[in-house]
Structure 1
Amino acid sequence: MITLLIILLLVFLALSVPIYISIGLASFISVLIFSDIIPMVLIQRMFSGLDAISLMALPFFVLAANIMDGGGLSKRILSFSRALVGHLAGGIALTSQVASMFFGSLSGSSPATVIAIGKIMYPELVKGGYSRSFSGGLLASAGAVSLVIPPSITLIIFAAVTGVSVSSLFMGGITAGIVLGLSSIVYIYIYAKKHNIEKDKRASWKELVRSFGKAFWSLLIPVIILGGIYTGIFSPTEAAVVSVVYAFLIGFFVYKELDLKTTFKICIDSAITSAQILVLVSSAQLFGWVLTREQVPQQVSSFMVDNISSVIIFLLLLNVILLIMGMFMEGIAAITVTAPLIFPAAVAMGVDPVHLGVIMVTNLAIGMYTPPFGMNIFVAQTITRLELKEMMPGLCKFLAFNIAGLLLITYIPEISLFLLRFM
């Protein structure tokens, strides 16, 4: 059964069949041919796969991200970021990176971050003397950080698939996301120094305070969300609802860039996005159930434990596999397919579940812009109008520095576990 399942999945993917159909249809055909299970049971498994408390947070975080973008929160974060770091070497590029990290902590969506930051900053980067290749690579890679920094939708999916605490994963994602962002900042600084890029004039204290004041209500969102979770005031799911209400109130009554018509359209778009994600999760849960029923996770776990004695080699292989998968599959799909297989083996080898989740999501974040098929590349191309060959030099250099950051996250567990143990 498993051989047919994998063959069908690969064939459907090669034919460009949508991922959720590829996963679900391959599972249905394999089970119906090799077992006497009736189709209704498979449909029930798909529905029960969505019956997870952690998944309730997903549509609310999607809605919150769209409200933040439509309500003017993202552009105020950009203005504050530029006032904060614009005078440093590589100031405009640093602004893009820092703003992406801020916005990523609000939206949890990598493509959304590329669009929200890129459409404003790309013209500024080119005007500031940065090459188009560098600018395109920066925007594609900076958006990837948002997959790691909480509230990360991909971390929520990992929690739903494996049962690991969402709040613990969020703690690990904070420090890992900062390390990943800093690896890009190092390259930005080196590039700016090498090419003698002109800096912004240093913002005065008055200008800095003014930009902070305008962005203050936007910057409070991660404080409210993460502070509420870690102080026990509300759960991650409740935090998602709070973020929606808060973002709406700020966009509607404080910034006054939302109206009822815009809000209605945002709700429709968010519902469509959430449905697309959840139907994928549903199909993947069926796929995972079939694998579990055939004891594939246990076999993979036993094989790895028996044949790979070194945790260092195991994690290195895991990184390579996930980086390749990240090029072809969106992070949520890759997590739902691979986590049930990898999780038992990793835990059996002594890898901390939170550390594992952060490693997997960081790999998939980098895979989002790894040439030639990373999704963020195509999203960035809609903004930059560059061909892939034009973007490649910039992409590859950011990729090299981010992989260095990934190796630090992989082989220094304290980066992911420091806050968790401290708290």
Structure 2
Amino acid sequence: MSSVSHAPHADDGGATASTERGPRHWAVTANTMLGHLVAVPAALLVLAEVAILAAGIVGRYVFRSPIVWSDELAGILFLWLAMLGSVIAFQRGEHMRMTAIVGVLSAQVRAFLDVVAAAASLAFLLLVVWPAYEFAADEAFVTTPALEIINTWRAAALPIGIGLMLIAAALRLCRIANLRSLLASLAIVAGLILAFVLLAPVFKPLGNLNLLIFFVFVVGAMVFAAVPIAFAFGLATVGYLTLTTSTPDVVMIGRMDEGMSHLILLAVPLFVFLGLLIEMTGMARAMVGFLASLLGHVRGGLHYVLVGAMYLVSGISGSKAADMAAVAPVLFPEMRQRGAKPGDLVALLAATGAQTETIPPSLVLITIGSVTGVSISALFTGGLLPGVVLAVMLGAIVWWRYRREDLSHVKRATGREIGRAFVIALPAIALPFVIRTAVVEGVATATEVSTIGILYSACAGLLIYRQFDWRRIYPMLVETASLSGAILLIIGAATGMAWALTQSGFSASLAKFMTSLPGGVPVFLAVTIVTFVILGSVLEGIPAIVLFGPLLFPIARQVGVHDVHYAMVVVLAMGIGLFAPPFGVGYYAACAISRINPDDGMRPIVGYMIALLIGTLIVAAVPWLSIGFLK
């Protein structure tokens, strides 16, 4: 997902636990100390990455003297940032997981399943901590080409990060569980693992049937039980490799390292930080204010503004959570005053989240480029028009629903007021164009360009908008590390799973099935849309892309679908699943940001989702919308 939405663990170990004595009080204190120990270096790593990439741009473009070691150092620090961020995300309960099923259960059952999920995460970490150490030790025989240091300096991030998560997991269990639930959850997890170990002789002769057992039933059971997705993927993959193959566990760590070490993914934390920065500096508010002055007097006008504002803000931040958090607080109070119902507000907010999934610099597009080899620049170019098509479809629904809205009490903005709002918003509106121009003209790579956006936004906040709260920088850096760590750990675990699927021959079987579908390209695209709507609702965007992108994109090429066109269809379909209730976690993120009950938006969102589906079908049927402006 470019949507980086998450469903936090329920954590009852806060103020209540801190007032108790004994193990729980000790666990809270130790967890706080661990948080400070990890958060400070993680925040410094985010700043270091910005500085290193900015120095690389200046050295290459200004002084015509490239810094040959900048990318290598950035890559080393990036793995450390990913692992420390994963530790912070674990402490905060911010690793992505699906809570739609457990959410309908009683509070007591939910609390117990939360303990079971923590125990399952602990089991995975225990199983991989030693292989991670072995992997890091083996990297001592590898020397980096530019800095000429042993690669263990980079690879050590894996065992240290996993070890710190182990401590965090143990502390979490002490905080959220009483003795009975703790023992019961540990017994359940240990018993299930022991049962699978004893059944190993049964699994080995089953061949590819094991794929169904481990990657459908086991993963499905853990995901629906609200085990964090990264740990569900990892535990199932380790079980599959250990019990059904002769592959050593260290290979899983190698695949995780490979998945998390693509330098292009460094754009993830930097664009997350950029999204937080534009909200803090008031740039998002300025853009929304200008759009409101243009359309505020039109029936449904602020709803159109919401659609347009999400399009513009998505072109800056790349993070759906940041987009919605920047726009909703600005528009919703005025929309409520005009009589808009809360359910319709959150429904449209969620729908615009799906609509803007292809707007550059979407994190999902960056992820697709990193795992499939498709040009990031081409994806950025191809994503603009599909977003417009879906915006038009949503606008049609808004027009129908608000065609009789009473605006007799609304004052139309004067030309002078519109002009003033435009001048104020101009620096903010220019940012997406600055980012795109920097990539197209070769000033910066898709990874580096986020640093230009960060420096631009900081200067705009300090010099133009005069809204720059230095006290918020450190929390923003820590939040960036946490969200990035949650995303990157999923990518690492899903890369290991995808490798296991490929080695099993599943990819060849899938390719054979997809290429044998009757009806050619139209049927292939239709099956893709259905598949990714389902995957988007269950796995969220980025895990689904990492897991199935490397398998399906080569098949799309075989049947004659352009890579960029196929990427747009995949991302739009996945976005519909991600933001469609009852399973789409993006919808619940929109509800949380809006502070609106999810039940209120269930009915209004149906029309918007139908509009998005029609728009996706139009994009699938007209390839020019995705590839018409490619060079």
Q: TM-score normalized by structure 2?
A: 0.64
Which residue matches 2:349?
Answer: 139
Which residue matches 1:23?
Answer: 233
Over 3 Å counting, the alpha-carbon distance change for 1:31 and 1:130 in structure 2 is same
Indicate which of 404, 408, 414 corresponds to 2:614. 404
Measure the CA separation in 1 of the matches of 2:405 and 2:530: 33
Q: Look up the equivalent residue of 1:88 and give its one-letter code.
A: V
* CA-to-aligned-CA distance 1:160-218 (integer Å, 9 cap, x gap): 11110001011111111111112111211222214455684332221111111111111
Matched, 1:352 2:551: no
Instruction: Please state how far the C-alpha of 1:88 moved relative to its aligned partner.
Output: 2.4
Give yes or no for contact 1:311–1:349 (8 Å, CA) kept in 2.
yes
Q: Map 1:144-293 to 2 at 5 A.
A: 144-196=354-406, 200-293=410-503
Q: Look up the equivalent residue of 2:284 and give its one-letter code.
A: S
Most deviating of 208-217 and 388-397: 388-397
Which residue matches 1:374?
Answer: 584
* CA-to-aligned-CA distance 1:319-358 (integer Å, 9 cap, x gap): 1121122222221112112212222222111111111111
Which residue matches 1:317?
Answer: 527
What is the root-mean-square deviation in Å for CA atoms of aligned residues? 1.7
Measure the CA separation in 1 of the matches of 2:457 and 2:594: 29
Most deviating of 394-403 and 251-260: 251-260
Q: TM-score normalized by structure 1?
A: 0.95
Measure the CA separation in 1 of the matches of 2:248 and 2:536: 34
Measure the CA separation in 2 of the matches of 1:110 and 1:77: 17
Which residue matches 1:130?
Answer: 340
Which residue matches 1:73?
Answer: 283
Give yes or no for contact 2:361–2:380 (8 Å, CA) kept in 1.
yes
Instruction: Please state how far the C-alpha of 1:101 moved relative to its aligned partner.
Output: 0.9
Matched, 1:90 2:300: yes
Give yes or no for contact 1:45–1:286 (8 Å, CA) kept in 2.
yes
Most deviating of 281-290 and 8-17: 8-17
Which residue matches 1:340?
Answer: 550
Partner SS for 1:237? coil
The percent of aligned pairs where both chains have the same amino acid is: 28
Instruction: Please state how far the C-alpha of 1:381 moved relative to its aligned partner.
Output: 2.1
Partner SS for 2:277? helix
Measure the CA separation in 2 of the matches of 1:233 and 1:389: 47
Which residue matches 1:47?
Answer: 257
User: What are the ranges of 5 or more consecutive residues in structure 1 without an aligned counterpart?
Assistant: none
Measure the CA separation in 2 of the matches of 1:225 and 1:386: 34
Over 3 Å counting, the alpha-carbon distance change for 1:60 and 1:131 in structure 2 is same
Measure the CA separation in 2 of the matches of 1:48 and 1:314: 30
Point out 4+ residue stretches in structure 1 off by more than 6 angstroms.
none
Matched, 1:3 2:209: no
Q: Map 1:381-420 to 2 at 5 A.
A: 381-420=591-630
Give yes or no for contact 1:252–1:259 (8 Å, CA) kept in 2.
no
Give yes or no for contact 2:310–2:323 (8 Å, CA) kept in 1.
yes
User: What are the ranges of 5 or more consecutive residues in structure 2 without an aligned counterpart?
Assistant: 1-209
Instruction: Please state how far the C-alpha of 1:385 moved relative to its aligned partner.
Output: 4.3
Q: Which of 1 and 2 has greater Rg?
A: 2
* CA-to-aligned-CA distance 1:17-65 (integer Å, 9 cap, x gap): 1000011111111001122222222112211222223212111111111
- Structure with the greater relative contact order (CA < 8 A, sep ≥ 6): 1 or 2? 1
Instruction: Please state how far the C-alpha of 1:235 moved relative to its aligned partner.
Output: 1.4
Q: Look up the equivalent residue of 1:4 and give its one-letter code.
A: I
Measure the CA separation in 2 of the matches of 1:381 and 1:176: 25
Measure the CA separation in 2 of the matches of 1:195 and 1:2: 55
Over 3 Å counting, the alpha-carbon distance change for 1:170 and 1:199 in structure 2 is farther
* CA-to-aligned-CA distance 1:376-399 (integer Å, 9 cap, x gap): 321232244444332122100111
Q: Look up the equivalent residue of 2:384 and give its one-letter code.
A: I
Instruction: Please state how far the C-alpha of 1:306 moved relative to its aligned partner.
Output: 2.0
Give yes or no for contact 1:381–1:387 (8 Å, CA) kept in 2.
yes
Most deviating of 133-142 and 22-31: 133-142
Q: Look up the equivalent residue of 1:5 and give its one-letter code.
A: F
Which residue matches 2:88?
Answer: none
Over 3 Å counting, the alpha-carbon distance change for 1:384 and 1:60 in structure 2 is closer
